[in-house]
Amino acid sequence: MDSKLKSMCMQYAWSKVIRQIGWLLLGWLAVMTLCAFGAWDYTICQHEQGYDMACLREQYAKPVGKWPQPVIDKGVVWQELAPVPNRLSSSLSAKAKLGERLFFETALSLDGQISCGSCHRPEYAFADPRTVSVGVLGRKGERNSQSLVHLGLMTNQVQFFWDGRAKSLSEQVLLPLTNPNEMAISLDSIDWRLQEVGYLPKFRQVFGQQVQAITIEQFSQAVVAYLQSLTPAQTSFDTVLLGDVSAFDDQQLLGLHLFRTKARCMNCHFGQAMSDGKLHNLNQTLAGSAFADFGAYAITGNSADFGKFKTPSLRNLAQSKPWFHHGRFTNLEGVVEMYNQAMPERLPKSAPPLARQNHKDALIVPLGLTRQERKAVVAFLLTL
């Protein structure tokens, strides 16, 4: 073999070695990237025929901190899922008991027929089963009433209402009183309205015998104390979180795993309350229709807030339907499919130009869930 041919053979051999090393490095980088972003967990306990449920049970029989890592996008600050406290072991303070009475007091409305509890009904997870809530004199509101059942789990949140317009729970308590479509009274009338139905002695028991007039601050403090006492009822999901995975059947367990991984739900729904408390655009403005609602944009005027609404808690989800701010979703399978398709939006010609800009949250991407997987996610959601 002459020297030129020998050199060519050596170059060819080395090029193959380098290519193989390159492919190995690329493979290693791919694995590390998948692990870093949590997507590696997609394949845990999977085989060609589907999911190995015995394997998943083994994974989720471990303490929560050792469960398969959730898929969380870069920059998302999240908390691990956690059980809610047992409501049977808690008792209301005197102030919260007063707040409870005030929450259901109809004397605080223009027609004497509406209370906070009219639109936040305990049997519906303190939400409203109607598409939109109805206030004094039969006046319809513009949105479905959000569930309040999680407020005791999120005492540090700073945005309230669907559009985040209230910055404290005290502010949220007062705004419905003056809303013409809700309770339609003035804050100055709280004192005489409550004194007229015998509340002064009750306020003295809580705030002291020196009380001569019921103040807005005292009223607000009492109702806030009650709202902060609200926590969801424990469910089979809490039993699993506390270490008993047998509380879930196979479909529910698969749904939990998908919720954490392939369905990407924990980018927004995490912690005890299963909500990040933030505002996101999910392409649900209904722009161009009679039901158009532009969310936080209507409050701030900032185009970056167009279509943003607050993430609801998923706790006691089955009791709180209909879902979303517009109350137009009553079928959970349909909701999951909308997320699966990355919330497609078909705008009519009458939609304003701002609605045609891409405001959808970057966290919303196609999921590729199969029919079996979507059913499993729904089965899990119904355990919350």
Of residues 13 and 261, the one with the higher pLDDT is: 261
Mean pLDDT rounded to a whole number for the chain: 89
Give CB contacts under 8 A, 24+ apart, made by 124-128: 124/319, 124/320, 125/149, 125/232, 125/315, 125/316, 125/317, 125/319, 125/320, 126/230, 127/319, 127/320, 128/327
Output 1 or 288, whichever has higher pLDDT: 288
Give 22's pLDDT tier (boundaries 50, 70, 90). very low
218, 191 contact by CB (below 8 A): no
Kindly state the helix (H) or strand (E) to which residue 46 belongs, with its residue range: strand 46-47
Q: What distance in Å separates the CA atoms of residue 309 and residue 294, rounded to the nearest whole number?
A: 9
Hey, which residues does 160 pair with through a beta bridge?
Answer: 166
The mean per-residue pLDDT over the stretch 124-145 comes to 95
pLDDT at residue 5 in the model: 46
With a cut of 80, say whether residue 141 has pLDDT above it.
yes
Domains annotated on the chain, with CATH: 51-84+234-382 (1.10.760.10), 94-229 (1.10.760.10)
More confident residue, 89 or 255: 255
Give the whole-angstrom CA distance, residue 138 versus residue 148. 23
Q: Which residues are bridge partners to 308 per DSSP?
A: 281, 295
The values of phi and psi at residue 242, to 5°, are -85, 5
pLDDT over threshold 70, residue 27:
no
Q: Where are the alpha helices (DSSP H) in the chain?
A: 3-37, 53-60, 94-103, 116-119, 169-178, 190-196, 200-207, 216-227, 236-241, 250-260, 297-300, 332-340, 371-381
